[in-house]
Structure 1
Amino acid sequence: MKARMWTAVVSATVLSAGMPAAAVAQGACEINDSSPFQVNGAKQYVIAAAAAKRADEVPKHLRNAIRVLTDDPSKIKNDAGRQWMLVRAYAQWLQREDASYVMKRGDVGFTQNPAGSQNLLLALDSAATAVESMLPQCTDKVRPYREQFFGEILNKSIAAMGAEQNDSAAYFATLSLQVAGSDPRPWNVLSSVYQKQNKMDSAMIAMEKVIALSGSDTLYAKVKQQSRYNLAVMSLTRAEADAAGEKRDAEIKAARALLEAYLKDTPGDANAAQALGRAVRLSGDTAAVTAIFADMLNAPDKFTADQLFEAASNAAATGHDADASKLFENGLKKNPYHRVALTNYANVLLTLKDAARMAPVVTRLAEIDPNFDRAYRLIAALWQLRARAESDPTKKKAANDSVLFYLDRQTKTNPRVDMTLAQKSGNAYTVQGTVNNEGSVTASWTMKLELLDAAGAVVASKDVAIGPVDAGGNTTFSVKLEAPKAVAYRYAPLK
């Protein structure tokens, strides 16, 4: 999945008596905050609180403001003005030093249920939402009141996530939603936290919220695209793990729709195009697969080796072997020692009965992964192609003898190495695998592992101790080396 993007939220200018004059003057937005008397009285209390010389005078004025606005709302025939003054009063409560997000209702100024608790963030959000609903043209005037507290809390969430404090990150992200429930960024934080906690269902729900709440707002375009891509990849991964059925089909369909929407907004993105190819292949839409990898065939330089390899695998899986061979060939120009690509390319060339191109591929495969038994089976298949094409009896017999030789070598490969992971992450390259002792006695080996760059030069190396492994048993190994230029590996034969 794509790397996640985090940007600290810049808090709005601290709000004083009301708002700075430049921020209040907003086009056609006009809020009557002078009548009836309850609204005007609340305004005077808010102004008095902001101008108070003594800190202990501020709560008294703010309590009075909220009391006159909430004691009997039905009598106030200016709900927009009432809600606007509540926004300002709640904001001033929250601006106080050591302010609490939750207070006793009576302490805030409510006469109804004074012993209960009042969440000021939720109250601010409710009042701001009411103003925006009644006077949409005043959204820009109301927004800074939300953003001051939202930004402060969300930044705490991002900082906690950066410090690997996942519980705190989730707490502050959830708290920030109380004052800005329609903002997708807290859900973006939560999706990351849930992934770290391996709560994948919750992570996917959070991504769906990001997409839904982002809408067409350009401010959220990056987090929306990021969530579309990551959600699609997670859906595809689930689909590949599921047996055929309605659930699998629904996951593939959802992933395809997300990726098509992503590419509509970000055309030409190679990672998304690669993932879409995977989605349409899983859906069985062979025509769509062809259309997707056509660009990779025509302009391979625009794509990475891994993207070309996946497109090649998609092409081969849908019976487009000629296109698959071209995609593998172009990918191997960028990373000629990629073991999985060499293996798959060899199988495609075997299907095409192209012995001439297959020979150097299987030779290189056996050189970089010499204890990989299936490499010798592919070499045997190469000699079988040559035998079938040979008319000279002597040469035909020699070719068939080579078939038997390499089939025997496959069965006698010992130890047998199965690589399970070869992956670049940041500046590090990781190689993992299983070593199987096919012999009759306990044995140990040393794997002389080398990491290679795209030109085949050695950029890192390590001697890996293997064993002792009982006869018929196996063991695993994992090697991680700092090697910024590494793209592949090879090792000397284990004997």
Structure 2
Amino acid sequence: MKASMLMRVAGVALVAGSTAVTSPLFAQATCNVNDGSPFQLGGAKQYVIKAASSRNNDEIPKHLANAIRLLTDSPEKIKNEPGRQWLLLRTFVQFRSLNEGKFMLNRGDMGYTINPQGKQNLLLAVDTAASALEKVAPQCAEAVKGYRQQFYGDVYNKAVSSLQANQDDTAATYANLALMVSPTDPRPWNVLSSVYGKQNKIDSSMIAMERIIAIAGNDTLYKRIKQQSRYNLAVINLTKADAATGAEKEAEIGKAKTLLQDYLKDSPGEANATQALARALRLSGDTTAVANMFGDMLETPDKFTADQLFEAGSNAAGSGRDADAVKLFEAGFAKNPNHRNALYNYANAAFGIKDVAKMGPAVQRLMTIDPNFERGWRLVAGYWQLKSRAETDAAKKKVFQDSTLFYLDKQSKLNPKVDIVASGPTRTGYQIQGAVNNGGTATGTWTIKFEILDAAGAVVATRDVAVGPIEAGSAMTFSVTVEAPKGVAFRYAPIK
């Protein structure tokens, strides 16, 4: 999936003592409620003003606690709910300013006489008071917005910072707190999606992406994370489709197609989404639609990356369009000539159109990159088989047939076998994952000497990976990430 797109938000500076929070004129002008009577409100108001103007930090929480006590001891006796909620909101905001970074306070310390040993969530307190005020005094909606924005920005930015510091549990906590304050903002769900993805909680990550798409709507502020979620969700659906059959497979493909088609309506021609849609169409069997998507890439390959061209080539090959596949792969090789998977797929496509001139150099390069790749040696045998079938000279034909048998025998006796299951650049390096299979009769240990290559084929990093001991008939997986910012491909020396 694409790297997560996280945006910080700017909070509104509402702190104790600022005009925006504490001025009675501000309250009356923007909210227009009576916050001075009955007497409980008049007393609470004076405590709020004292707290805002006090220069003695020890006195401030005492004034605020007195305000809370007056406002909550017998609320049914206060016949002015708009004024009560307005003063509660202002008091909670000042408590929050005094307790930067803390969201849970002891109720007794805040002035509550009911359940004084319990805990009070300041964010929920602010949200509850703000919602109650908006309900009984709609004219206060604009004033309430400022309070919510300040808290939301504070908490959401902490979620982003925690995620970037790999403090995933903390990031999730802050993201959920942000959703308490602003449940209609999709950005906290974006943080949660990233957290769940890192924790391999794929179903939870998908639910978060679906929430982003639903909440974002047509708001241009959220277009980027909405598009990212559409793409990532579609890729997960396609991965599920690869492992499914029947109705389940069709359902996953259908979800992916819808997401990608919606994506491309909002971002026409975007290469990654275009390629993913081509893959979805290929899986659904719509080869005509896939073919129509290759036109632009075949005509203007310089507009696309090597990986995009390779993906298109794989889609073309999977759709039975080997000639188009060969052209797309060749365009990609101009930008990265040593991509192992692309070389393998290209050689298969060349085999499909019986083009030995193209297939020969491809399989030769493939086997210098991945020399212990079993299916690679079978492909080499296929190359000699094509040559033998096309040859009319008996002597040459015999040589080619012998070569076919030689490489089939080499394939059958290859040990150990290396199976690279994933490889590619990371943010600062290059990662390779795979397995080593011991087909011999004794336990073995091997060292794979990897070289990481740049786009020109130059070695930019090396790494030795020891694998074993592996018992006969068993396999062992490995994963290595090499620091190589310019790395785009790999190769390793033959191991025996």
* TM > 0.5 fold call: yes
Aligned to 1:261: 262
Residues 16-44 of structure 1 show CA distances to partners (whole Å, capped at 9, x for unaligned) of 578539x9999xx9643238955985766
| 8 Å contact kept, 1:249–1:283 | yes
Q: 1:297-308 residue pairs with structure 2 within 5 A? A: 297-308=298-309
Cα distance between partner residues in 1 of 2:31 and 2:471: 83
Aligned to 1:59: 65
| 8 Å contact kept, 1:187–1:207 | yes
Aligned to 1:13: 13
1:344 is displaced (CA, Å) by: 1.0
Cα distance between partner residues in 1 of 2:447 and 2:122: 65
1:117 is displaced (CA, Å) by: 6.4
Aligned to 1:288: 289
Tell me which amino acid in the other structure corresponds to 2:65.
P
Q: Which of 198, 201, 207 is the equivalent residue of 2:203?
A: 201
Cα distance between partner residues in 1 of 2:255 and 2:138: 34
Tell me which amino acid in the other structure corresponds to 2:150.
Q
Residues 189-210 of structure 1 show CA distances to partners (whole Å, capped at 9, x for unaligned) of 2222222222222222222222
Cα distance between partner residues in 1 of 2:139 and 2:293: 44
Aligned to 1:310: 311
Q: Please state if 1:406 is matched with 2:407.
A: yes
Residues 214-259 of structure 1 show CA distances to partners (whole Å, capped at 9, x for unaligned) of 223333333323222222222222232233323x333322222222
| 8 Å contact kept, 1:232–1:256 | yes
| 8 Å contact kept, 2:438–2:472 | yes
Q: Please state if 1:33 is matched with 2:33.
A: yes
Q: 1:364-379 residue pairs with structure 2 within 5 A? A: 364-379=365-380
Cα distance between partner residues in 2 of 1:176 and 1:229: 25
Q: Classify 1:288/1:66 alpha carbon distance in 2 versus 1 (closer, same or farther; 3 Å).
A: farther
| 8 Å contact kept, 2:47–2:63 | no
Aligned to 1:192: 194
Aligned to 2:453: 452
1:146 is displaced (CA, Å) by: 0.7
1:444 is displaced (CA, Å) by: 5.6
Provide the aligned C-alpha RMSD in A: 3.7
Q: Classify 1:334/1:175 alpha carbon distance in 2 versus 1 (closer, same or farther; 3 Å).
A: same
Q: 1:423 aligns to what SS in structure 2? A: strand
Aligned to 2:90: 88
Q: 1:182 aligns to what SS in structure 2? A: coil
Q: Please state if 1:181 is matched with 2:219.
A: no
Q: Please state if 1:417 is matched with 2:415.
A: no
| 8 Å contact kept, 1:105–1:118 | no
| 8 Å contact kept, 1:49–1:59 | no
Q: Classify 1:126/1:287 alpha carbon distance in 2 versus 1 (closer, same or farther; 3 Å).
A: farther
Tell me which amino acid in the other structure corresponds to 1:254.
K
1:316 is displaced (CA, Å) by: 1.5
Aligned to 2:338: 337
Q: 2:334 aligns to what SS in structure 1? A: helix
Residues 104-147 of structure 1 show CA distances to partners (whole Å, capped at 9, x for unaligned) of 4996569x989986544224223434555788886554222012
Cα distance between partner residues in 2 of 1:493 and 1:484: 25
Aligned to 2:76: 71
Cα distance between partner residues in 1 of 2:421 and 2:228: 28
1:85 is displaced (CA, Å) by: 4.9
Tell me which amino acid in the other structure corresponds to 2:354.
K
Tell me which amino acid in the other structure corresponds to 1:426.
R
Tell me which amino acid in the other structure corresponds to 1:381.
G
Q: 2:456 aligns to what SS in structure 1? A: coil
| 8 Å contact kept, 1:52–1:58 | no
1:391 is displaced (CA, Å) by: 3.2
TM-score, normalization: structure 1? 0.84
1:373 is displaced (CA, Å) by: 3.1
| 8 Å contact kept, 2:35–2:84 | no
Q: 1:20 aligns to what SS in structure 2? A: helix
Q: Which of 144, 161, 174 is the equivalent residue of 2:146?
A: 144
Which piece of structure 1 moves more, 412-421 or 480-489?
412-421
1:477 is displaced (CA, Å) by: 4.6
Tell me which amino acid in the other structure corresponds to 1:369.
D
Cα distance between partner residues in 2 of 1:137 and 1:235: 46
Cα distance between partner residues in 2 of 1:284 and 1:85: 64
Cα distance between partner residues in 2 of 1:437 and 1:107: 68
Q: 1:324-363 residue pairs with structure 2 within 5 A? A: 324-363=325-364
1:149 is displaced (CA, Å) by: 1.9
Tell me which amino acid in the other structure corresponds to 1:12.
V
1:441 is displaced (CA, Å) by: 5.7
Number of equivalenced pairs: 487
TM-score, normalization: structure 2? 0.83
Q: 2:495 aligns to what SS in structure 1? A: coil
Q: Which of 199, 215, 218 is the equivalent residue of 1:216?
A: 218
Q: Which runs of 5+ in 1 are unaligned?
A: none
| 8 Å contact kept, 2:451–2:491 | yes
Q: Classify 1:134/1:338 alpha carbon distance in 2 versus 1 (closer, same or farther; 3 Å).
A: farther
Tell me which amino acid in the other structure corresponds to 2:2.
K
Cα distance between partner residues in 2 of 1:67 and 1:118: 16
Q: Classify 1:492/1:119 alpha carbon distance in 2 versus 1 (closer, same or farther; 3 Å).
A: closer
Which piece of structure 1 moves more, 197-206 or 113-122?
113-122
Tell me which amino acid in the other structure corresponds to 1:236.
L
| 8 Å contact kept, 2:423–2:431 | yes
Tell me which amino acid in the other structure corresponds to 1:411.
S
Q: 1:154 aligns to what SS in structure 2? A: helix
Cα distance between partner residues in 1 of 2:136 and 2:219: 21
Cα distance between partner residues in 2 of 1:385 and 1:419: 27
| 8 Å contact kept, 2:344–2:363 | yes
Q: 2:157 aligns to what SS in structure 1? A: helix
Q: Classify 1:16/1:311 alpha carbon distance in 2 versus 1 (closer, same or farther; 3 Å).
A: same
Q: 1:334 aligns to what SS in structure 2? A: coil
Q: Which of 168, 171, 187 is the equivalent residue of 2:170?
A: 168
Q: 1:451 aligns to what SS in structure 2? A: strand
Cα distance between partner residues in 2 of 1:406 and 1:163: 51
Aligned to 1:233: 235
Cα distance between partner residues in 2 of 1:421 and 1:100: 43
